[in-house]
Amino acid sequence: MATVHDPGANASLPRHHTATHSEKLVITASSLGTVFEWYDFYLYGLLTAIIAAQFLTGLNPTTSYIMALLVFAAGFIVRPFGALVFGWIGDTFGRRYTFIITLTVMGLSTFLVGCLPTYKSVGVAAPAMLVALRMIQGLALGGEYGGAASYVAEHAPNDKRGLYTSWIQITATAGLAMALFIVILVRSPSVGVGEAAFKEWGWRIPYLLSGVFLIFGLWLRLKLHESPVFQKMKEEGTGSKAPLTEAFGQWRNLKVVITAFFGAIAGQAVVWYTGQLYTMFFLEKMLKVEGLTANTLMTVSLLMATPFFLVFGRLSDKIGRKPIILTGCALAAATLFPTFHALTEAANPALAAAQVNAPVTVTANPDECSSQFDPVGGKTFDTTSCDIIKAMLAKAGVNYRNAPAAPGTLASITIGNETFSAPDPTKLAGPARKEAIEAFARTVVGKPAVAAKPAEAGKPAVEAKPAIIGALEKVGYPTKADPARINTPLVILLLWYLVLLVTMVYGPIAAMLVELFPSRIRYSSMSLPYHIGNGWLGGLLPAIGFAMVAANGNIYYGLWYPVIVAAFTAVVGLFILPETNKNNIDD
């Protein structure tokens, strides 16, 4: 089989040189394989609402959506464990082996998601199988990043490590853009199967396509040889006998791991997932932008911003990694709130105006209001009148403000001049209680119990609008964003800015992590903090953010999470994070 790189071919080259043809092929082969892995992983993030309808239909609406986000996060939660397993393999046996294993595991598990039966077919076994496959994906992704970054950096000239590794950083955004593009094509009525068919069965197509990408990715990975740094280390016998113990059991290295996490990775993680995934959820769930439109707007902004990964990667070779990463964190902390407010006005101006001119008020005893966050999906949020109201409004994506009430007061919603009281669950039991709650739900988000007008000859019955939705429309709240009123150029500009922040924090970080740790334990040392940050702080961001919104009522409230973490990293990193761009990584 032909190979793309001979590790000894450039041994005589100086560590500062123009990229050779074989080095370019190494970057291309490594990056494309990683693109396919990110494509597999982020498909679920794009299809959260549809997956919830297919696999979580047995849960109440609010819990169903939060659980769908937590299934998404399940893949992130296990990523640190994948980092430990594959980090050990990478530091012990080589970077190349992990490429083959992780891609195979990721591709197969993604393909199988497209084959899963739904809740309607097999009941609770469906979400159980989905969670299992998501966790397998997370293990594979946990082993991917450290190997790809180390592999490329160990081939790079000393003065271009930021540029070379920024190609690896592009892969996450490129994989997301690729997933968006394919989802758009498949759900398009003119090119694909159309929205109705896509929600029913067409969502499987992007998953099944991963089988094709797996074959191509494996073909690329099998053409790679081991990195010259690792090969030299093995020949000289300087590799670590116990990389995990040395990486995390010795304070000398552990303190560097902690520094990297709090001084860079934590802020990078929340900025990344806010700018590229939370934004998608926000557009569709809160701003009520139609799914295909939201996907298209996000794809355009991603394509416009992607070259800046290379720009900031190359700039970090010249001025350092630290100032670029920390500036991105500081800008995110300072501008996320005004940016998302501007996004609301640009994407759904009617909604923005209604929030100002006709705020919705929930009056309830605060002691009766729960957090609306249910990680195991067991709560129904129907034991108090406050929970009933907040769960229904969360399902409808309605922004509201809270007003305290005295104990014993029944929770109510005030919209303009109309007030709607929730049923009192403490005075009902059995079927009557369930019926009362379902009747109230119909006034908010469901179909009415009876038609408003009887059927006329040759015409179907006309259904009445749910009462609360009708009241919202009276004071200007739209049920969905009007495509004709979306300020498309401004929305794209705002989305581009959010992704630009991502390129600032993410473009230089692979090079920085590689440079912080010695080659014998590099894979393990950089992988674990990276995946704790991106897997836990970042992966849980959508679920935590939307649970915060559901409990508080303010659609921007979830932004406090990334703002606080990014600000913390900017301050901590300023004092404890070292500059690394002049470090020697061959040792």
Last residue of a domain, one of 452, 474, 496: 474
- Map residue 55 onto helix, strand or coil: helix
pLDDT, tens digit, 9 for 90 and up, residues 158-193? 888 999 899 888 887 888 888 888 988 998 888 888
Residue 523 banded pLDDT, cuts 50, 70, 90: confident
Question: How is 74-89 classified by DSSP, letter by letter?
Answer: HHHHTHHHHHHHHHHH
Token code pair at residue 40: 């597999």
CA 456 to chain centre: 49
Residue 13 banded pLDDT, cuts 50, 70, 90: very low
Please give the pLDDT value at position 449. Answer: 41
Tell me if 9 is assigned to some domain: no
* Residue 379 shares a structural domain with residue 455: yes
Higher pLDDT, 447 or 252: 252
* Residue 218 shares a structural domain with residue 292: yes
**How far is it, in rounded angstroms, from Cα 266 to Cα 261?**
6
Eight-class DSSP state of 190: T
Residue with tokens 């067409």: 202
Eight-class DSSP state of 484: G
Residues 375-392, mean pLDDT to the nearest whole number: 69
Please give the pLDDT value at position 379. Answer: 56
* Residue 335 shares a structural domain with residue 400: no
Residues 93-120, mean pLDDT to the nearest whole number: 84
Please give the pLDDT value at position 7. Answer: 40
Please give the pLDDT value at position 12. Answer: 42
* Residue 247 shares a structural domain with residue 147: yes
pLDDT, tens digit, 9 for 90 and up, residues 424-467? 887 767 777 777 777 777 776 555 444 444 545 455 544 456 77
Which residues, 6+ apart, have CB-to-CB distance to 554 below 8 Å? 399, 400, 401
Q: Which amino acid is at 5?
A: H
Last residue of a domain, one of 456, 474, 492: 474
CATH number at residue 167: 1.20.1250.20
Question: How is 499-541 classified by DSSP, letter by letter?
Answer: HHHHHHHHTTHHHHHHHHS-GGGHHHHHHHHHHHIIIIIITTH
Q: How do 360-364 and 400-404 pair as beta strands?
A: parallel
Last residue of a domain, one of 435, 455, 474: 474
Q: Is the pLDDT assigned to residue 276 strictly greater than 50?
A: yes
Structural domains in the chain (count): 2
Residue 538 banded pLDDT, cuts 50, 70, 90: confident
**Closest listed residue to residue 426, CA positions, set 378, 468, 386:** 386
Token code pair at residue 20: 């050779």
* Residue 81 shares a structural domain with residue 102: yes
Q: Is the pLDDT assigned to residue 382 strictly greater than 90?
A: no
pLDDT, tens digit, 9 for 90 and up, residues 59-87? 666 566 666 766 766 777 888 888 888 88
Tell me if 1 is assigned to some domain: no
**How far is it, in rounded angstroms, from Cα 239 to Cα 68?**
43
Residues 282-310, mean pLDDT to the nearest whole number: 90
Q: Is the pLDDT assigned to residue 576 strictly greater than 60?
A: yes
Residues 472-490, mean pLDDT to the nearest whole number: 90
The mean pLDDT of the chain is: 82
How many Cβ atoms are within 10 Å of 473's Cβ, its own excluded?
A: 14
Token code pair at residue 410: 């029944």
Please give the pLDDT value at position 347. Answer: 96
Q: Is the pLDDT assigned to residue 290 strictly greater than 50?
A: yes
Tell me the residue range of the domain where 449 lies: 356-474
Residues 350-361, mean pLDDT to the nearest whole number: 89
* Residue 332 shares a structural domain with residue 393: no
* Residue 470 shares a structural domain with residue 492: no
Q: Is the pLDDT assigned to residue 29 strictly greater than 60?
A: yes
Inter-residue contact 545 to 558 (CB < 8 Å) = yes
Q: Which amino acid is at 299?
A: T
Please give the pLDDT value at position 372. Answer: 62
Please give the pLDDT value at position 327. Answer: 98
Inter-residue contact 153 to 161 (CB < 8 Å) = yes
Token code pair at residue 306: 């992607």
CA quadruple 266, 135, 149, 90: dihedral, nearest 10: 120
Q: 307 to each of 162, 169, 314, 346, 500, how far by Cα in Å? A: 14, 11, 11, 25, 10
**How far is it, in rounded angstroms, from Cα 83 to Cα 145?**
9
Q: Strand pairing partners for 419?
A: 414
Q: 306 to each of 280, 310, 390, 534, 582, how far by Cα in Å? A: 17, 8, 39, 19, 26
**How far is it, in rounded angstroms, from Cα 61 to Cα 286?**
15
- Map residue 429 onto helix, strand or coil: coil
Tell me if 289 is assigned to some domain: yes
Tell me if 527 is assigned to some domain: yes
* Residue 405 shares a structural domain with residue 489: no
pLDDT, tens digit, 9 for 90 and up, residues 207-250? 999 889 888 888 877 777 766 666 766 665 656 667 788 878 88
State the pTM of this model: 0.81
Residue 1 banded pLDDT, cuts 50, 70, 90: very low
Spell out the alpha helix ranges (H) of 383-424: 385-396
Tell me if 296 is assigned to some domain: yes
Tell me if 2 is assigned to some domain: no
Tell me if 281 is assigned to some domain: yes
* Residue 193 shares a structural domain with residue 149: yes
Tell me if 584 is assigned to some domain: no
- Map residue 364 onto helix, strand or coil: strand
**How far is it, in rounded angstroms, from Cα 325 to Cα 261?**
13
Which residues, 6+ apart, have CB-to-CB distance to 389 below 8 Å? 362, 364, 411, 412, 413, 422
Which residues, 6+ apart, have CB-to-CB distance to 338 below 8 Å? none
Please give the pLDDT value at position 227. Answer: 65
Question: How would you classify residue 84: left for phi > 0, otherwise alpha for psi between -120 and 50, otherwise beta?
Answer: alpha
Question: How would you classify residue 372: left for phi > 0, otherwise alpha for psi between -120 and 50, otherwise beta?
Answer: left
Please give the pLDDT value at position 495. Answer: 97
**Closest listed residue to residue 310, CA positions, set 323, 290, 324:** 324
Inter-residue contact 540 to 71 (CB < 8 Å) = no
Please give the pLDDT value at position 14. Answer: 40
**How far is it, in rounded angstroms, from Cα 61 to Cα 440?**
14
CATH number at residue 467: 3.40.30
* Residue 203 shares a structural domain with residue 330: yes
* Residue 294 shares a structural domain with residue 330: yes
Q: Is the pLDDT assigned to residue 308 strictly greater than 60?
A: yes
pLDDT, tens digit, 9 for 90 and up, residues 87-97? 888 777 767 77
**How far is it, in rounded angstroms, from Cα 424 to Cα 504?**
51
* Residue 260 shares a structural domain with residue 161: yes
